Structure 1
């Protein structure tokens, strides 16, 4: 089956306290985004990537994709006002029956194995959303104060989120709603059951300086085969 990945990389450097958008920060000498692109290229030899970037950063994106080993499988488009609109822009370039992955460009530590598991689960059930179990105690704010909830029933959602193309493209024909925080929430609005699969604890989103240090350590250990 055809395979496409819409990789959304529209972040800024605000929480990083840097003028450089976080997807372009360097990890072991290479941009964060380079690792994300390379991992998707490694996952399947026939997978095509649509990279969604703010218009002002397209030239930087071109420079990065040229450093990958198969830039012909990557093309770019511009983002929109919100993540929802950016994903919609990426989906417009896909016209074949396929499995479509949607991924945060700054989740650069995912593995090819996770991508493949998402693919097979999506083929089987129509969608696949990686998630991990919460390890901290969880409390929820209510009108009467805060209450503890069973953390074993809490799942922390990750990307890539994988769907049959017809399903996700149809979902993104809806008008934007503030409850759309990820692709699963958009698809769920159609009344579709969301299928969770096991994610990866190292599949973190690079948002703070500490995340860069963690990512450096993870990559170092992988290079050493640990």
Structure 2
């Protein structure tokens, strides 16, 4: 008797259940199970579910607008990234230009230094040439005095400045020097002898 009453109550409650509950039990739950199995199968088969959903949803006005907004956001982010990269490139280019200008300035300084170096080398060469010419002239003069008559040579030398006279006398050989000194006045000969001795000691 009790079991019969319980069964009747259950049937009564089932009859009283709302249409929404019936819809949820008969339609929604099976659809969710079917959707889960479909997603699982697609994942196993390597199908990109998100891209496929976008492709299908693009044909639906409301869904396509939602997806379109996301795509717009992605494009905006992409454009901002491009602007930042362009700014970085401009900054790098400006830095490169500054470095190139510094290199050019250094190259100009090096060119100026090389020009100064060449001028100095030319000046030194010219001075050496003059010195060599002077040495050749002294040798030629000394050779003339060595072949000249001692009296004539002595008379010419004593008319020179003392430094010039000693410069020539110091280049003469010992025999021509002795012959010329003999023909000089004693005071001049003594002066030149003293100066020659000083020059000889300085050279040592």
Shorter-normalised TM range: under 0.3
Q: Which has the higher helix share?
A: 2
Q: Which has the higher strand share?
A: 1
TM-score by length of 2: 0.21
Which structure has the higher relative contact order (CA within 8 Å, separation 6+)? 1
